Structures are given as C-alpha cells and as structure tokens.
C-alpha cells in the first residue's frame, strides 16, 4: 500500500505512549509517581529555576545585553574612495584613512591602534594611481586592480 496524504501513519516502533504516572501500583509509577517518599521535590513546592539556594542563573546573567570586547571589526574600504582621497605614491593604512576622515569610529586608544580594528580592501571602483596599501585583508579583485596600476598590496599579519 503506497503512502499517500490520505493514509499516512508513523513507521512501526517510532512512536511510544507516554508514561501515565499516579495510576495505581500495577502501572509501575503509582503511589509516589516517581517522586520518592518525602521532601521538597515530592511536594511540588520547588519553583522553576530554583537551584537549592544558590543564586539562580537568570539572576547571575547580565540583563541589558552583552558586548564582546574581543570581537574583531573589519572596516571595509573600497578602491574608489581611496582613489579620491590619496595622491600617487602615498601609503594607505587604517591610520591614514582615519586622518582623511574615511573611517569615523574610534580605532585608537592612548595613541595605540586597537587590536580589534582591522582593515579590508574591497575591489569596488577603479584605481588609476600607484599606491601602497597596507591592510589585513584584500579581495581578489582589489589585489588585481592595485597590481595593475603598479601599486602594492601589503597584507599585515593579524593575530586571530
């Protein structure tokens, strides 16, 4: 008999009836219904999430979100934006982009570059000037366009 929408049924042995507790001694889960003899758990007075007096998990966790201070953020920069801001022969890195105003957020603290600030160069747009670009990542098209005009794409080792 073919399985059709009108006569579907689960395969044999895949479904099992739930144990009905407190239905007489002969059932195997009668009398105390699997709760033991006496005590707090036998009487149904334990609140959900109660951990025996230990500070419950829902009170130990922060309530207003969580910010991972070790998360790495890649600032993406396109070649057409670099083209408009730099002259031929310049060196482009994350600090020079910040100085030109192309990166607006905070990337330094006490004069030192944050470990979580990284730069990725995207190949959008055209590049006509020979530039030395220093970044953690380059797309394949960006590397090709930089090399085509005689520039260099230096990959900086990032500690991930």
Structure confidence at residue 115 (pLDDT)? 80
Does residue 145 have a pLDDT over 60?
A: yes
Q: How confident is the model at residue 112 (pLDDT cuts 50, 70, 90)?
A: confident
Q: How confident is the model at residue 1 (pLDDT cuts 50, 70, 90)?
A: low
- Residue 84 is given by DSSP the state H
Question: pTM for the complete prediction?
Answer: 0.57
Task: Work out the number of other CB atoms within 10 angstroms of the CB of residue 66.
Answer: 7
The H or E element that residue 132 is part of is strand 132-135
Instruction: Give me the chain's average pLDDT, please.
Output: 89
Structure confidence at residue 68 (pLDDT)? 82
Domains parsed from the chain with CATH numbers: 22-64 (no CATH), 73-155 (3.100.10.10)
Cα(98)–Cα(107) distance, rounded to whole angstroms?
A: 8
* Burial of residue 95 (number of CB atoms within 10 Å: 0-12, 13-18, 19+): middle
Kindly state the tokens that stand for 7: 């006569």
Cα(118)–Cα(124) distance, rounded to whole angstroms?
A: 18
DSSP 28-61: SS-TTTTS-SSSTTTTT-PPTT--TTSPPHHHHS
The bridge status of strand 132-135 relative to strand 91-92 is: parallel
Does residue 159 have a pLDDT over 70?
A: no
Cα(86)–Cα(92) distance, rounded to whole angstroms?
A: 8
How many residues are present in the chain? 160
Q: How confident is the model at residue 107 (pLDDT cuts 50, 70, 90)?
A: confident
């Amino acid at each position: 008999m073919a399985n059709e929408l009108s006569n579907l049924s689960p395969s044999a042995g895949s479904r099992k009836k739930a144990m009905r507790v407190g239905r007489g001694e002969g059932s195997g889960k009668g009398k105390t219904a699997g709760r033991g003899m006496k005590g707090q758990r036998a009487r149904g007075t334990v609140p959900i999430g109660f951990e025996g007096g230990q500070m419950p998990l829902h009170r130990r966790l922060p309530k207003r979100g969580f910010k991972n201070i070790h998360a790495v953020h890649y600032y993406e920069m396109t070649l057409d934006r670099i083209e408009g801001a730099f002259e031929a022969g310049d060196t482009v890195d994350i600090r020079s982009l910040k100085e030109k105003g192309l990166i607006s957020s905070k990337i330094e603290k006490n004069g030192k570059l944050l470990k979580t600030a990284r730069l990725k160069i995207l190949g959008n747009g055209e590049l006509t000037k020979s530039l030395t670009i220093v970044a953690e990542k380059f797309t394949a098209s960006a590397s090709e366009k930089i090399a085509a005009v005689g520039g260099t794409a230096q990959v900086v080792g990032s500690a991930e």
